[in-house]
Amino acid sequence: MGRRLRLLAWMGILAGTLAAWALLLRIGFQTDQKTVLWQLWLCSALVMVFLSAIAWLLHTTPPWAIKLPPWLTVAIILTIAVGLRIAMMVWWVPTLSDDFFRYRRDGHVVLHGMNPYRYLPTDTAVPHPANWNLSYAQVASYPYDLMDRMSNNAQVPTIYGPVSEMLFGAAAWMENHFVASGRFHPRAVPPPRNTRRWYAMFYQLGGNPRFWPYRGMHVLADVGVVIWLLLILAQMKRSLWWAALYAWNPLPLIEIAGNGHLESPGVFFFMGAFWAGNKKNWGLAAACLALALMVKIYAIIAVPVFVLWFFQETPVKNWRAGLQRLTRPAVIYILVTMVCLLPFITGLPDLYRTMRIYAQNWEFNGLLFHLLRWLAFAGNAGPIRPILAVLWWGGMVVILAAAWRGRWPAPKVMGHTLMLYLMLMPQVYPWYVLWPLALLPLAWNCSTWIFSWTVLLSYQVWMIYHATGQWRMSEWVFLVEWMPVVTLAFYQWGADGGWRLLRRHAVGRSIIADHVGEV
């Protein structure tokens, strides 16, 4: 393909991407997205087709290709990314998830000096299994309102991290000072869940301006993720256009700008750790990882990857010297974590109890969890979680061993680690995929790429829930979602040399054993 033809291809693909995005924005405009899921899937798939064409052009760019000045590339990527996020915030009402009701309640509890880990999000009694020991959960003295009573999983206190709670408190302050103060219909009670009146109220309240500070804060953090990507790509001397694969991807826009999920602050700190790691500022990287952990607890899985990266990049004479040099970032990580936990220290035992309840009882869209449950244990979920824990630790050892022998860059290692984690989790919601997707511009992973679209199919749960009252997906949707992801995960592992590196390691051990036997 010649220079002019490639330029025309770029221009055509950019125009097609914007046209596809216009369709997607129009589909969700001032409507309940649960009622237009088929159109949402098709339009988002069309966007992904054009973005895949951009990925193909980036993979095949020759040295002589026409290249724009960096400032112009940054301007195009950021202008479109910010414009799409503003349009989605203004035009879309968050209706694919009701988590934002709890964000607001937590924020007001924090703003009034109370510990959110002790209190229920609603004063309405919600039944729960008798074996859940919720004697610690209380109804707060701070008055509840109609929006609070719309919170999901209202039988348990919150499990969001301390940094998330601080951000909710800041958003609640902005709500009081810039939108509206006071409680919103404090005596009103919502209709029963999964009724026509409940869906109508869900839509009506979702568009209320009181939620704009919460959504806006998360959108700002998401724009920050795009900026981090541009900075890291410049560090790595990769094309800045790789950032468009995240910046214009339907998943972050639907989940964060469209539905206001809290994932973006965690991903923001997570990407800041990679920027600091590239500069070999391990203290700053440790601080960013600790802040990411304090947004979402599963950011802790990044720690072994960063330790491996530290030893790859830090020249030391022996392991003891390396561990001594690791002491400073380890101390920083612990100190930042403790500082974040300190304001909520009296509620930490309650947070631990709530997290145990979630870990032992919540399940949705988990690949191996559901396969093992129905194929090996006849519907019994009891033995599965310990099995998944063993598979997780074994898989981590395999990934880290291959990464050490192959000198893999940290984003590639982290991408494989996150995909393994998602395949082993009992519950996987679409916004969980934002973490590996943010790494994709730094280290291509075709499994992550396809998952960033197929995971949207899990919203079919709303169709089943509306029809039957059961929170589950159809088996065929589950298979359509996961089969290409698993297939491409194994392909990507092989393409990155994982099988070859492990085979070489096994052969090396066999040769040593034979030699010892001969001696």
pLDDT tens for residues 201-238?
999 999 999 999 999 999 999 999 999 999 999 999 99
Q: Is residue 415 part of a domain?
A: yes
Whole-number pLDDT of residue 156: 93
Measured in whole angstroms, the distance separating CA 59 from the mean position of its chain's CA atoms is: 25
**Same domain, yes or no: 475 and 391:** yes
DSSP state letter for 96: S
Q: Per residue in 481-498, pLDDT tens?
A: 999 999 999 999 999 988
Q: Is residue 224 part of a domain?
A: no
Alpha-carbon distance values, 18 to 12, 14, 83 (Å):
10, 6, 11
The secondary structure element, H or E, covering residue 130 is none
**Hey, what are 49's tokens?**
């087709």
Q: Is residue 452 part of a domain?
A: yes
Q: Is residue 7 part of a domain?
A: yes
CA angle 337, 339, 345 (to 5 degrees): 95
Stretch 74-82: mean pLDDT = 97
Q: Per residue in 256-296, pLDDT tens?
A: 999 999 999 999 999 999 999 999 999 999 999 999 999 99
Bridge partners of 365, per DSSP, are 427
Q: Is residue 373 part of a domain?
A: yes
pLDDT above 70: residue 1: no
What distance in Å separates the CA atoms of residue 214 and residue 182, rounded to the nearest whole number? 17
**Same domain, yes or no: 197 and 104:** yes
**Same domain, yes or no: 30 and 172:** no
What distance in Å separates the CA atoms of residue 282 and residue 276, rounded to the nearest whole number? 7
pLDDT above 50: residue 427: yes
End-of-domain residue from the set 208, 226, 243: 208
Split into its structural domains, the chain has a count of: 3
End-of-domain residue from the set 67, 86, 119: 67
Which amino acid, residue 12? G
pLDDT above 80: residue 517: no
Q: Per residue in 156-214, pLDDT tens?
A: 999 999 999 999 999 999 999 999 999 999 999 999 999 999 999 999 999 999 999 99
515 — pLDDT class (breaks 50, 70, 90) = very low
Count Cβ atoms below 10 Å from residue 325 Cβ, excluding itself: 14
The secondary structure element, H or E, covering residue 117 is none
What mean pLDDT value characterizes the chain? 92
**Same domain, yes or no: 370 and 517:** yes
Whole-number pLDDT of residue 2: 76
Q: Is residue 413 part of a domain?
A: yes
**Same domain, yes or no: 138 and 195:** yes
**Same domain, yes or no: 517 and 418:** yes
**Same domain, yes or no: 29 and 142:** no
Q: Is residue 225 part of a domain?
A: no
**Same domain, yes or no: 48 and 156:** no
Whole-number pLDDT of residue 506: 54
Alpha-carbon distance values, 91 to 88, 199, 300 (Å):
5, 18, 35
**Same domain, yes or no: 516 and 469:** yes
**Same domain, yes or no: 110 and 191:** yes
66 — pLDDT class (breaks 50, 70, 90) = confident
End-of-domain residue from the set 152, 173, 208: 208
Whole-number pLDDT of residue 514: 43
**Same domain, yes or no: 63 and 158:** no
Q: Is residue 176 part of a domain?
A: yes
Residues 6+ apart with CB under 8 A from 266: 161, 164, 292, 295, 296, 299, 435
**Same domain, yes or no: 481 and 419:** yes
In this structure, of 40-54, 125-139, 283-297, 445-459, the range with the lowest mean pLDDT score is: 125-139
| Structural domain that includes position 39 | 1-67
Alpha-carbon distance values, 460 to 44, 113, 467, 498 (Å):
15, 39, 11, 34
CA angle 151, 152, 154 (to 5 degrees): 80
Count Cβ atoms below 10 Å from residue 490 Cβ, excluding itself: 12
In this structure, of 19-23, 314-318, 407-411, the range with the lowest mean pLDDT score is: 314-318
